[in-house]
């Protein structure tokens, strides 16, 4: 799993199991984990993640609504809150943040794909399941 951009999109699209992504994420050092969380936030913003995506992400991730990342993502503007989630320091909170953001991205990207890319598109990340890099 050399390219985090491809891996994160594969995880969000359900092309790789979340558990495998979590194992990969846990193997990164703290700086690498922080960079991955920032990248995920960027992808979520690009996909125009909404409050509905946040709720769906919490549901899909298996997080309890009382877990810090779940509380944060619902506490204000989602783009601002995702930045706070990416900045979480304790390792166990970073893993929860990773799980949540993967699923928020998956929900937001699926919605945008249905609305804007149903007839085809040039987004490389939408070609992953078709065997394209």
- Residue range 94-115, pLDDT digits in tens: 999 999 999 999 999 999 887 7
Burial of 8-46, coded b for 16+ CB within 10 Å and e otherwise, reads: bbbbbbeebebeebbebbeeeeeeebbebbeebbebbee
Q: Residue 132 has what pLDDT?
A: 41
- Residue % of the chain over a pLDDT of 90: 80
> So what's the pLDDT on residue 114?
79
pLDDT tens-place string over residues 26-52? 999 999 999 999 999 999 999 999 999
Phi, psi at residue 32, to the nearest 5°? -65, -40
Which pTM value belongs to this model?
A: 0.86
């Amino acid at each position: 799993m050399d390219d985090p951009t491809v891996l994160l999109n594969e995880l969000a699209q359900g092309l790789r199991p979340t558990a495998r992504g979590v194992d990969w994420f846990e193997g990164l050092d703290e700086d690498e984990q922080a960079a991955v969380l920032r990248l995920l936030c960027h992808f979520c913003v690009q996909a125009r993640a909404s409050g509905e995506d946040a709720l769906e992400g919490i549901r899909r991730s298996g997080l309890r609504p009382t877990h810090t990342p779940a509380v944060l993502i619902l506490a204000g503007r989602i783009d601002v809150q995702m930045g706070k989630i990416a900045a979480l320091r304790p390792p166990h909170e970073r893993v929860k943040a990773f799980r949540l953001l993967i699923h928020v991205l998956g929900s937001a990207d699926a919605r945008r794909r249905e609305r804007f890319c149903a007839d085809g598109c040039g987004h490389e990340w939408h070609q992953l399941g078709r065997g394209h890099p």
